Amino acid sequence: MNYRIAVIAGDGIGPEVTSQAVKVMKRTGEKFGHDFEFTYAYAGGCAIDKKGECLPEETLEICRRSDAVLLGAVGGPKWDDLPGPKRPEKALLGLRKDLGLYANLRPAVMFEELAGDCPLKPEIVKGGIDLMVVRELTGGIYFGERGTKETEMGPAAYDVEQYSEGEVRRIAETAFGMAMKRGKKVTSVDKANVLDSSRLWRRVTEGVAKEYPEVETNYMYVDNAAMQMVRDPKQFDVLLTSNMFGDILSDEASQVTGSIGMLPSASLGEGSFGMYEPVHGSAPDIAGRDLANPMATILSAAMMMRYTFGLKEEADAVESAVEKVLAAGCRTADIAGEGMKIYGTEETGNMIAEAI
């Protein structure tokens, strides 16, 4: 099969980590008989320097013509003094909006080899953690009506949490579809004991759940979910959340894995199209020094294979190659324990490609 991928390497460590992910994808393609075709495009600070704007139309065109986007990271001190709308990070919002990406997927996987970096007690995480936060990305309180009004107690500011049935249905469908490809369990997070918007969220989710009889569904108030995440994270498979609850819970969940250099993510819209990127930023402090951990970006490429291309075996191969090299002692500086040998970005990418 032939798959078209737009690569936005971006700034800082972006080019270093995306080139390792491309290398691993090429190796996977050779091994499994696929043709991954890469087209490179500018966004972020490098696009400002080369094209005069952070998200040139030709970049959007390349993304629209592709099956998926692999993004490194954007931004850096060079562009920090630009006014808000002109900053490199604006490219991310533009990409999400133009490509209709309303679902954010953040897996939190604890690799056995890195269990020592987990802040939870060993008995809580024994056997590993593997959960996925499916967060609504373009609605809710971050995009609702807002303003300030006079009250007896002085000026009051407000932000409205609003969700339509359609918005909830489509993100719920993403979560249930995801659960079907994973552990067949969805926990829908809300605050339905207090909020009308959460009651609608729960009612719509219950309707979608009926269409997925194989999936075990439960409902949890957000305060309890935050507590359960540190008490017993192994109970979760897919967590379905609104924009704000997901913002908070996905950061909490990611902490169990140790380093930011290990965390992949995906943003999906209608159909199978998606944008895949590491959770970390452009890390200007280590850029260009062969120090960056490429695993988050390589694991993002594995997510692309699994969720956009439906290539389960290939995605499994990439993920187990990462596990294998960790087991063999390969560590970049961010995840190296005391006294361990430190591997560079390039060498780590080579080892993972060879382990496919």
> Which residues ranging from 292 to 331 are in contact with ligand NAD (CB under 6 A)?
292-293, 296
Q: Of 11, 67, 237, 247, which residue is the catalytic one? A: 247
- In the stretch 228-267, what mask flags binding to ligand NAD with x, by CB under 6 A? --------------------------------xx------
In the chain, DSSP finds a helix count (H) and a strand count (E) of 12, 12
Smallest Cα–Cα separation from 3: which of 70, 72, 71, 66? Answer: 66
Closest-approach residue to ligand NAD (CB): 281
> Which residues ranging from 178 to 217 are in contact with ligand NAD (CB under 6 A)?
none
Between helices 295-303 and 312-327, what is the axis angle to 10°? 160
Q: Per CB under 6 A, which region of 29-37, 199-207, 226-234, 278-286 contacts ligand NAD?
A: 278-286
What is the number of residues in the chain?
A: 356
Q: Of 196, 251, 285, 316, which residue is the catalytic one? A: 251
Q: Least distance in Å: CB of 289 to ligand NAD?
A: 10
In the residue annotation, 223 being an active-site residue is answered as yes
Between residues 73 and 186, which has the closer beta carbon with respect to ligand NAD?
Answer: 73
Between residues 62 and 311, which has the closer beta carbon with respect to ligand NAD?
Answer: 62
Rounded distance between C-alpha atoms, residue 131 and residue 29, angstroms = 27
In the chain, what is the straight-line distance between the N-terminal and C-terminal CA atoms, in Å?
Answer: 19
- In the stretch 83-122, what mask flags binding to ligand NAD with x, by CB under 6 A? ------x--x------------------------------
In the residue annotation, 90 being an active-site residue is answered as no
Q: What burial letters (b/e) apply to 126-146, b meaning 16+ CB within 10 Å?
A: eeebbbbbbbbbbbbbebeee
In the residue annotation, 232 being an active-site residue is answered as no
Q: Per CB under 6 A, which region of 19-27, 71-79, 107-115, 176-184 contacts ligand NAD?
A: 71-79
Q: Least distance in Å: CB of 95 to ligand NAD?
A: 10
Q: Of 223, 232, 285, 316, which residue is the catalytic one? A: 223
In the residue annotation, 251 being an active-site residue is answered as yes
* Residue 119: φ, ψ to 5°: -75, -5
Q: Does 29 bind ligand NAD (CB under 6 A)?
A: no
Pairing verdict, β 35-40 and 103-109:
unpaired
Q: What burial letters (b/e) apply to 314-346, b meaning 16+ CB within 10 Å?
A: bbebbbebbebbbeeebbbbbbbeeeeeebbbe
* Residue 56: φ, ψ to 5°: -65, 150
User: Please, are residues 125 and 118 in contact by the beta-carbon 8 Å criterion?
Assistant: yes
In the residue annotation, 130 being an active-site residue is answered as no
Smallest Cα–Cα separation from 261: which of 11, 13, 87, 83? Answer: 13
Binding site for ligand NAD (CB under 6 A): 13, 17, 73-76, 89, 92, 260-261, 277, 280-286, 292-293, 296, 332, 334
Which residues carry out catalysis?
Answer: 142, 191, 223, 247, 251
